[in-house]
Amino acid sequence: MRYYIIAGEASGDLHGGNLIKAIHGLDTHADIRCWGGDRMQQAGATLVKHYRELAFMGFVEVIANLRTILKNIDRCKKDILAYKPDVLVLIDYPGFNMRIAEWAKKEGIRIVYYISPQVWAWKEKRVEKLKRDVNKMIVILPFEVDFYKKWNFEVTYAGHPLVEVVRNEKNNVPLIPITDKPIIALLPGSRAQEIKVKLPLMLSMVKHFPDYCFVVAQASAQPDSLYKEVIGDLPVLLVKDQTYNLLKQAKAGLITSGTATLETALFGVPQVVCYKGNPVSFWLATKLVNVKYISLVNLIMDKEVVKELIQTELTEANIKAALTRLLHDEAYKKELTQDYETLWHKLGDKQASALAANEIVGLASPK
C-alpha cells in the first residue's frame, strides 16, 4: 500500500522515522513518500522536501515567509495527487498540515493525524475542523483523551513515542564518554533563528561555572558554521547526532522549550527551560495561548516541575541562579527526581509507534 507522511520539524522527523519502521514491519510492501527529514528517509521513505526548508517559528516569521509556505502547500497538494496514497499521515505541524487535511478530505483521501496539534493550548475551536477532516486522530499526551472527549471526538491514545525511544537508548545503546569533566548540556533547538537567539545566553554561563564542561547539541539539519559563529573562542564542545549520549552524561541542562524538555526529563537530567522569541510573536501568543506552562514536562504534570525562563525572564542573572540551584540544592534535586519518576508513570509503557502503525495500516487497507 501507499503511504504519504508529512512532518515539518525535527521531533516530527524522529517520530516519523520510527513510525515508518513500524509500518514496514506490518506491511512489507509499503511504499512511503514523505515531507520530513533524514530519519524518515533512512527508515525507507522517499523524501520530497526536508523540514529545514519548512520550519518557520512564530507569528511574525510565518507572515514574513507566507509566500514560501503557500508555494510549499501547493507543491505538496500536487505531489499527493500524483502519488495517489492509500492513506495520508499528518504529524503535528498544524499550520501546514491542517490546511492539507481540509483539502485532502475534499479529494476523498483517507487521513490519519498522528500527534495532535496543540488545539488545547490555543484556538480550541480548531477541533471542529479536525473532526470534520480527519478519519482518525492518534494522540500521545494522556490529558488529550479527556480534552477531545469534551468535543465528542473519539481519539486513540498511543502513549508518547519518546518513552520507547528513550527506554531503548538507556537499555541498549552504550555510553560514549565525551569528557572527564562534569557536563552541562546546552540544547538550543533545531531552528537557526532560535539557536542565534538562545545559544549566546546559554553560553554566558561558561564563565560562571569553570569546573564544568559545557557541551552543545548540534541539530543535524544545521551547519557547523552556524554554531561556530555563535560559540567563537569559548571553551565548549560541540557534538552532532549525539544528543541522547550527551543527556546520559549531563549533570544539568539548559534546554529550549519543546520536545527536548521531555527528552531531558526522561533521561533524568535536571534542567532549566529556556524560551525567547520575536517580541511581537510572543505578545500575540500571550493573547491567544491558554496554558499555564510552555514545557511538556510541566504541562503533563500540571505543575511547575522544571523552571521556565521565558522571554524577558531569560537573562544571564536568572539562568545563573536557576543553574546554581540545579547543581547545588540537594533537596530540590531529590524532589525533581521524584517528579520525573511520576512523569514516567503518567506516560505509561505503550509501544506508541507500533500502535500508531497498526491503526494507519488498518485504515489504508482496502475495505
The DSSP secondary structure of 63-127, one letter per residue, reads HHTHHHHHHHHHHHHHHHHHH--SEEEEES-HHHHHHHHHHHHHTT--EEEES---TTTS-TTHH
Q: What is the pLDDT of residues 131-144, one digit of tens each?
A: 999 999 999 998 99
Residues 357 and 343 in one domain: no
Placement of cell 539557536 in the chain: 195
Residues 329 and 198 in one domain: yes
Residues 186 and 234 in one domain: yes
**DSSP character string of 305-321:** -SEEEEGGG--HHHHHH
Query: Which residues does 92 contact at the CB level (< 8 Å), separation at least 6?
Result: 7, 8, 9, 11, 12, 115, 116, 117
Residues 325 and 310 in one domain: yes
pLDDT of residue 28: 95
Q: Work out the pLDDT band at 193, boundaries 50, 70, 90.
A: confident
pLDDT > 90 in the chain, percent: 76
Compute how many other C-beta atoms are within 10 angstroms of the C-beta atom of residue 201: 18
**Range from 209-213, 221-225, 350-354 that averages highest in pLDDT:** 209-213
Q: Work out the pLDDT band at 31, boundaries 50, 70, 90.
A: very high
The number of distinct structural domains making up the chain is: 2
Residues 125 and 260 in one domain: no
Cell for 95?
499550520
Exposed/middle/buried for 79, CB within 10 Å: 0-12, 13-18, 19+? Answer: middle
**Helix-then-strand count for the chain, H and E:** 17, 13
Residues 354 and 342 in one domain: no
pLDDT of residue 259: 86
Residues 72 and 206 in one domain: no
Residues 143 and 217 in one domain: no
Residues 272 and 321 in one domain: yes
Give the residue from 174, 195, 182, 318 showing the smallest Cα distance to 260.
195
Average pLDDT over residues 48-68: 65
191 or 161, higher pLDDT: 161
Between CA 30 and CA 248 the distance in angstroms is 35
> What is the helix (H) or strand (E) element at residue 323, kind and residue range?
helix 316-328
Cell for 197?
537567539
Q: What is the pLDDT of residues 256-277, one digit of tens each?
A: 988 899 999 999 999 999 988 6
Q: Is 287 helix (H, G, I), strand (E, B) or coil?
A: helix
Residues 343 and 265 in one domain: yes
Domain range for 134 is 2-159+350-364
Cell for 47?
523524501
Residues 145 and 134 in one domain: yes
Q: What is the pLDDT of residues 91-147, one digit of tens each?
A: 999 989 999 999 999 999 999 999 999 888 777 889 999 999 999 999 999 899 999
Between CA 68 and CA 338 the distance in angstroms is 46
Least trusted range by pLDDT, from 22-31, 244-253, 316-325, 348-357: 348-357
> What CATH number should be reported for the domain holding residue 103?
3.40.50.2000
Between CA 336 and CA 332 the distance in angstroms is 6
Average predicted confidence (pLDDT) for the chain: 90
Residues 27 and 63 in one domain: yes
Q: Are 168 and 244 in contact (CB under 8 A)?
A: no
Does residue 366 carry a pLDDT above 90? no
